[in-house]
Chain A
Amino acid sequence: MADAIELNVNGKTYRLSVPPETPLLYVLRNDLELNGAKFGCGLGQCGACTVLVGSQAVRSCAYPVDAAQDKPITTIEGLGSPERLHPLQQAFIDEQAVQCGYCINGMVMTAAALLLRDPHPDDSAIRQELATNLCRCGAHTRILRAIARAGGETAQ
């Protein structure tokens, strides 16, 4: 049954009554109206739903909400502000890495976790990190360049 769940999302605390096994994605989208994370496959196989739990990138479509209770959650809405974009958001604009925009949340958030671990990842580290994030528009190479740019490196 629904228990009280306490979440810290983008610096705000929310108390919600949802079943603890509810995927985090549904809580973000349906209860908190944070629509930046997207439903792509529901099985953690495409990456469109990626958010940060603590400093880890997680697939929120397959991540139970109660597992996210004790750590700060960051969604793309909380990554930067309109006045001060996150370096990744700016780099994605500079490299024109967005097409339809649906996968891009996952690309940015996966890269955000990578940069927390490794502020200057090389090309192969970036490719490896994004190996399980799908993009159908085929914007991959610009996405790689954008992440390299945000990390202060040049993509190959």
Chain B
Amino acid sequence: MREFELGRAVPRTEDFRLLRGRGRYTDDIALPRQAYLHVLRSPHAAARLRSLETKAAAGAPGVLAVLTGPDAEADGLGTFSSVVQRRRPDGSANFVPPYRVLALDRVHHVGEPVLAIIAESLAAAKDAAELVDIDWEILQSVTETAEAPAAAATVWDEVPDNICFVHEIGNKAAVDAAFARAKHVVREQFRISRVAVNPMEGRTALGVYDEHEDRYVLYAGVQGVHRTRAELAGTIFKMPASRLRVISPDVGGGFGMKGSAFPELALVLWAARKVARPVKWAAERGESFIADHHARDNLSDVALALDERGKFLALRVNTIANLGAFLASMGVHVATNNLGGLAGPYTTPHIHVTVTGVFSNTNPTCPYRGAGRPEASYCIERIIDIAARQAGFEPAELRRRNMIPPTALPYRTGLVFTYDSGAFEKTLDMALELADWRGVAARRAAAAARGKLYGAGLASVIEIAGGPADLPLEEAVEIRFDPTGHAAVLAGTHSHGQGHETMYRQFAAHALGLAPEHVQVFYGDTDLVFHGRGTFGSRSASVGGAAFLGAAQKIIDKGRLIAAHLLEASALDVEFAEGRFTVTGTDRSVELVEVAKAAFVPQRMPRDLELGLDARAVVTPPGPTFPNGCHVCEVEIDPETGVAGIVRYAVVDDVGKVVNPLLLKGQIHGGVAQGAGQALCEALIYDHGSGQLLTGSFMDYCMPRATDLPMLAVASNEVPAKTNPLGIKGAGEAGTVGALPAVMNAINDALLPLGIRHFDMPATPERLWRAIRAVETKKAPPP
């Protein structure tokens, strides 16, 4: 078991099947008689449906049914909910648009589902879609974040100014006073681009209605099956949750987006009942771009006040966050709940933030790896670099001067969070060492000799995980032994690439001394797992680990009674360690596996104990965790072509206790790739007038590739969290949180000699080339 202990580099137990093509993703499941669903989507950003004629489509060969918005209305289907509520300036609750499974009489973004065609084959359904006749009255649209509040176009009649909410936190008076007496005041506007989540497995759903049980089954890749069940059963179909089973098999990436319930999940279930056959829908890639929830997309005015020694006195942030046309279930959460990261690992005493959430004729925005955390870290880390240049400080030194010292922990920051632990300056030092920060000047000179612009950027970041801050969400784990002495671990979390099967086997080795082959891990099935929140917000290791320990303790407690009976000793004298119960001070012992077998044999059990050995625990941690780290990125830009490349990258993370360095580094690599992708190349662009999405395929939307990423140097500075028994902080989002600012700080450092004060993401060759040409043109003498 020692090779599976916490902290060991345990290779994933998932890979053997995945590398032989034996994964089972939703589209790999084919049921007898399954029909295919095609969604006809809005081609317009804003329009009214004057009329909708579906007769010809309904009569087309192979078509089983055509379903419309009015049909859904007639069947009483509900609208999707928005979890977080905020207020308008007048104190009223924010408007929650009616987020229907199919549009009723008006569409609000390109790609909005208008009707569903179910047919014998996908081809037949698509052919029939050509026969649908819709008379559209095209309306004015607005897609740009900055323009939404004052736009002529109104997304919802109920909200003439397109302002969903204005959310204000922090101490405005203290911030204003600090700015008034500051030696240096630094201001800049930052734009965080809109991105597509683009898991390689597009969203897919297979719906079944079982007439025998009068019950539905949904197969779909989602991040939390219980949450999906609650939303679909409770909110959309208004039926008991027990009448819906949600199964999420292997999932080809979630990244936050697959945490939301979507119209198509409801459509396949509704359609399955209508046509009395299983119904499958699988997004094609072009469809994903216009039908998935998007992410990020905000505009922030950031101002930092410093005294003469560079101490941060106050931070002021005004953000406009683009929510899209509808509110994704966690859309308002992203815009308003992870703002605490703006404090960074710094002592800035006063922070004031105003977030204006706006509607636009775009896809709803949802959590995407970081969900507000990278955006917050970007604002503080970018403004620090600009301040360093403006006020004449070395960037690392300026950060160091403001870092929360270890002696000050736990530390209540100027905004929302109280950090339990961390060693921020040491993490910074380790990162500078790992990156050879002192060598930057030499590398810059060498690059310059080759005609390249060279930039180095760093970011010291911290984010919340396992939250929310005031009352963290619970997680559930059940451990069930069977009569052969093997254990089933049933977890409420969900793995979509993170390697949780391996992680829970490590927890089982740690807490129960079980060999990995004695443990089978289950998740992603509401009939198997009794409860769960799911996987998001870097929470699964810390909260799932705490829940596992809770259940394991119950197993040990009962196992001790059984062991005492088998060993003919008093339970008080029986201790448990490394998978074995031992009578204290003797060599008399029995393994947990043997105890589990005995638990099913009446003759071997104490009379007063229930047969069997199983336990479940629902654990709510006393507080969230705060993963943190320091990223150092170095880039080269070719001024002739505008092509930028990351040439060196180093990360030192403090994710608390490391469960498995192999899994951890994989998470850091992935996070950095996603952050670097957004910084260097990704962006969803809408056409200004028509509201059409211009970047709707992999040819127009640039994803980071193998050629874009250098080998990463990754090290850990483990400072255990104090808010969960294993000391884990979480690692899923840390890479992205650090990469977004570190990469853009490096790009901006490279552009500094040209006199460019701030350059927004994405640093595509075209945008860089234009920026470089623009300053050259300005500098050139008049002809």
- Do residues B709 and A102 form an inter-chain contact, with CB atoms below 8 A? no
Residues of A within 8 A of B497 (CB): 99-101, 137
B251 contacts chain A at the CB level, 8 A cutoff = yes
- Do residues B200 and A36 form an inter-chain contact, with CB atoms below 8 A? no
B216 contacts chain A at the CB level, 8 A cutoff = no
Q: How far is the CB of B524 from chain A (nearest CB, A)?
A: 13
Which residues, 694 to 720 on B, are CB-close (under 8 Å) to A?
697-699, 703-712
Q: How far is the CB of B648 from chain A (nearest CB, A)?
A: 12
Contact mask for chain B residues 193-211; partner A; CB cutoff 8 A; 1 contact, 0 none: 0000011111000000000
- Do residues A76 and B20 form an inter-chain contact, with CB atoms below 8 A? yes
Residues of A within 8 A of B202 (CB): 39-40
Q: Could you say which of B14, B200, B285 contacts A98, with CB atoms under 8 Å apart?
A: B14
Which residues, 626 to 671 on B, are CB-close (under 8 Å) to A?
662, 666, 669-671
B23 contacts chain A at the CB level, 8 A cutoff = yes
A30 contacts chain B at the CB level, 8 A cutoff = yes
B32 contacts chain A at the CB level, 8 A cutoff = no
Nearest neighbor of B668 in chain A, beta-carbon distance: A138
- Do residues B698 and A38 form an inter-chain contact, with CB atoms below 8 A? no
Interface segment among A1-9, A41-49, A64-72: the answer is A41-49
A119 contacts chain B at the CB level, 8 A cutoff = no
Chain B interfacial residues counted at CB < 8 A? 56
Nearest neighbor of A26 in chain B, beta-carbon distance: B122
Total of A-B residue pairs, C-beta within 8 Å: 175
> A89 CA to B670 CA in the complex, in Å?
20
- Do residues B21 and A139 form an inter-chain contact, with CB atoms below 8 A? no
Q: How far is the CB of A81 from chain B (nearest CB, A)?
A: 9
- Do residues A141 and B669 form an inter-chain contact, with CB atoms below 8 A? yes
Residues of B within 8 A of A94 (CB): 11
Q: Could you say which of B18, B30, B735 contacts A101, with CB atoms under 8 Å apart?
A: B18
Nearest neighbor of A101 in chain B, beta-carbon distance: B18
- Do residues B30 and A30 form an inter-chain contact, with CB atoms below 8 A? yes
> A109 CA to B698 CA in the complex, in Å?
20
Residue with the highest number of chain A CB atoms closer than 10 Å, among B28, B201, B677: B201
Residues of B within 8 A of A55 (CB): none
Which residues, 747 to 769 on B, are CB-close (under 8 Å) to A?
none
Residues of B within 8 A of A38 (CB): 25, 27, 200-201, 252
Residue with the highest number of chain B CB atoms closer than 10 Å, among A36, A39, A43, A45: A39
- Do residues A82 and B20 form an inter-chain contact, with CB atoms below 8 A? yes
Q: How far is the CB of B723 from chain A (nearest CB, A)?
A: 27
- Do residues A142 and B19 form an inter-chain contact, with CB atoms below 8 A? no
- Do residues B20 and A80 form an inter-chain contact, with CB atoms below 8 A? yes
Nearest neighbor of B711 in chain A, beta-carbon distance: A141
Given contacts A38-B200, A77-B20, A136-B253, contact A127 B12 (CB under 8 A): no
Contact mask for chain A residues 86-113; partner B; CB cutoff 8 A; 1 contact, 0 none: 0001001110101111111100100000
Which residues, 14 to 65 on A, are CB-close (under 8 Å) to B?
29-30, 33-43, 45-46, 48
A115 contacts chain B at the CB level, 8 A cutoff = no
Residues of B within 8 A of A133 (CB): 705-706
- Do residues B285 and A138 form an inter-chain contact, with CB atoms below 8 A? no
B58 contacts chain A at the CB level, 8 A cutoff = no
Residues of A within 8 A of B677 (CB): 138
Q: Could you say which of A45, A80, A96 contacts B12, with CB atoms under 8 Å apart?
A: A96
- Do residues B21 and A37 form an inter-chain contact, with CB atoms below 8 A? yes
Residues of B within 8 A of A46 (CB): 200, 285, 698
B282 contacts chain A at the CB level, 8 A cutoff = yes
Q: How far is the CB of A13 from chain B (nearest CB, A)?
A: 20
Given contacts A41-B285, A45-B285, A140-B706, contact A100 B251 (CB under 8 A): yes
Q: How far is the CB of A51 from chain B (nearest CB, A)?
A: 10
Q: Could you say which of A37, A89, A99 contacts B19, with CB atoms under 8 Å apart?
A: A89
Q: Could you say which of B18, B24, B285 contacts A104, with CB atoms under 8 Å apart?
A: B18
Which residues, 102 to 156 on A, are CB-close (under 8 Å) to B?
102-105, 108, 126-128, 130-144, 155-156
A sample of 20 more A-B contacts (CB under 8 A), given A38-B27, A141-B710, is: A36-B21, A37-B21, A39-B27, A40-B201, A46-B200, A85-B19, A92-B15, A93-B11, A98-B12, A99-B498, A100-B201, A102-B25, A134-B703, A137-B253, A138-B735, A139-B666, A139-B669, A140-B669, A141-B669, A142-B669
What is A's interface to B at a CB cutoff of 8 Å?
A: 29-30, 33-43, 45-46, 48, 75-77, 79-80, 82, 85, 89, 92-94, 96, 98-105, 108, 126-128, 130-144, 155-156
